[in-house]
Structure 1
Amino acid sequence: AKVIIEEDSFIVEGFQTKELLNKPIIIKTYDDHRIAMTFAIAALTFPNIQLDNKDCVSKSFPMFWENI
Structure 2
Amino acid sequence: MVRTLDLAEWAGCWVALDTDDRVQRHAATLSELMAVIDADGVEGLEIMRAPVPGEPVVFGLG
TM range (shorter): under 0.3
TM-score, normalised to structure 1's length? 0.24
Max radius of gyration: which structure? 1
TM-score, normalised to structure 2's length? 0.25
